[in-house]
Amino acid sequence: MANLTMIEAIREAMEQEMEKDDRIIILGEDVGKNGGVFRATEGLQAKFGEDRVMDTPLAESAIIGTSIGLSINGFRPVAEIQFLGFIYETMDQIAAQAARIRFRSAGRFTVPMVIRSPYGGGIRTPELHSDSLEALFLHSPGLKVVIPSNPYDAKGLLISAMRDDNPVLFLEPMPLYRAFRMEVPEEPYEVPIGKANVVREGDDVTIVTWGAPVKLVQKVAEESAKKGISVEVIDLRTIQPIDLETIVQSVEKTSRLIIVHEAVKSGGVGGEIAALVSEYALFSLASPILRVTGYDTPYPVPPIEDDWLPNAPRIEKAINKVMSY
């Protein structure tokens, strides 16, 4: 196995799938010669040519609109939006077009496209560059939303996304791009979309999270174990569809649920998970469901983002609260 960072695993996924399938086209701002804003596509234009790795104008709506047109004409585009906060420009193309064409055409047309985008805070980029907007797309039927938290999942989930006949939004946590290495199989493989990963088993509290906070929650769970509190950690991996079965099974075991995410609290994915658990596992709960999230403000300036993001003291406080209820 190779020992890869997340950005290397993402690049390898695209390279291997492009070798197998000449319908795959990468397009976006600076994805060609420069290799993308974080160098995820570095070297791919030199290998596959300008017809398959295309630099585009600074126009996000044009990138997604072109990708939709390519999709319904037999190609499998992989579009890059440089930062998730810029995706507002594309909302009509994604939510009103790409996500609906299969339903609208009664299955005559599909949109097998992937939209890759760096997202999330923690690297001192200002507001729109750090926004976590995944909840907007949970609310867009027809679209799948995938968020890896490590290099192994990043490669396997991206390959699954590129082979999927539906549009997939693939969100890449920026702080994890080069944060650590992990053994990753050299051959192509798939990690199923829609299947969460229980990264740590426990008996007292379930914490559901995804993306960058997964590592943080694991560390908090390790510290809690020293105090005699057994925390089960679920990496959701996929926001749409949500793996409700894994969450409910865990809550039925632990009786307590905390959801940790970077996005603002109101209208977030955490609220949807809390509602689902209330619907399917209410009588298993021994305490109220708590959320540890970003605050209901625009993303803050860099000097205070560590206090704005979910952090260890806030998660520990939530654990103590549900345990003492």
Task: Collect all residues with Cβ–Cβ distance below 8 Å to 26 and sequence separation of at least 6.
Answer: 14, 18, 41, 44, 52, 53, 54, 77, 78, 79, 80
pLDDT band at 128 (very low <50, low <70, confident <90, very high): confident
Q: Which of 160, 184, 208 is the last residue of a domain?
A: 184
Q: Is the pLDDT of residue 157 over 90?
A: yes
The whole-angstrom separation of Cα 77 and Cα 287 is 46
Q: What percent of the chain has pLDDT over 70?
A: 100
Q: How far apart are CA 191 and CA 204, in angstroms?
A: 28
User: What pLDDT, on a 0 to 100 scale, did the predictor assign at position 127?
Assistant: 81
Answer yes or no: do 176 and 232 share one domain.
no
User: Which pLDDT score, from 0 to 100, does residue 204 have?
Assistant: 98
User: Quick one: which of 248, 241, 298, 250 has its CA closest to 269?
Assistant: 241
- On the question of pLDDT at 37 being above 90, the answer is yes
Query: 316 pLDDT band (50/70/90 cuts)?
Result: very high
129 is catalytic: yes
Question: Are 302 and 260 found together in one domain?
Answer: yes
123 plus 233 within the same structural domain: no
The verdict on 180 and 204 lying in the same domain is: no
Q: What is the mean pLDDT of the chain?
A: 97
Which of 159, 184, 209 terminates a domain? The answer is 184
Q: Are 267 and 149 members of one domain?
A: no
Supply the CATH number for residue 82's domain: 3.40.50.970
- 158-210 pLDDT per residue, tens: 999 999 999 999 999 999 999 999 999 999 999 999 999 999 999 999 999 99
Question: What are the angstrom distances between the C-alpha of 290 and each of 84, 208, 237?
Answer: 26, 11, 20
Number of domains, the chain = 2
Range in 75-89, 118-132, 190-204, 302-316 with the lowest mean pLDDT: 118-132
Task: Verify that 178 and 206 share a domain, yes or no.
Answer: no
Residue 190 maps to a domain: no
- Which whole-number Å values give the CA distances from 214 to 150, 231, 311, in the listed order? 9, 13, 11
- Adjacent-strand bridge partners of 77: 25
Mean pLDDT, rounded, for 305-321: 97
Tell me which of 129, 155, 256, 291 is the catalytic residue. 129
Report helix, strand or coil for 273. Answer: helix
CATH at residue 314: 3.40.50.920
Q: Per-residue confidence at 226, pLDDT binned at 50, 70, 90?
A: very high
Q: What is the pTM of this model?
A: 0.97
| Per-residue pLDDT tens digits for 65-116 | 999 999 999 999 999 999 999 999 999 999 999 999 999 999 999 999 999 9
> Residue 53: helix, strand or coil by DSSP?
strand
Average pLDDT over residues 124-148: 94
Domain boundary pick from 140, 158, 184: 184
Percent of the chain exceeding pLDDT 90 equals 98
Domain that holds residue 175: 2-184
Question: Are residues 233 and 156 part of one domain?
Answer: no
Residue 91 domain-assigned (yes or no): yes
- The answer on 179 and 45 residing in a single domain is yes
Beta-bridge partners for 142 = none
141 and 162 part of one domain: yes
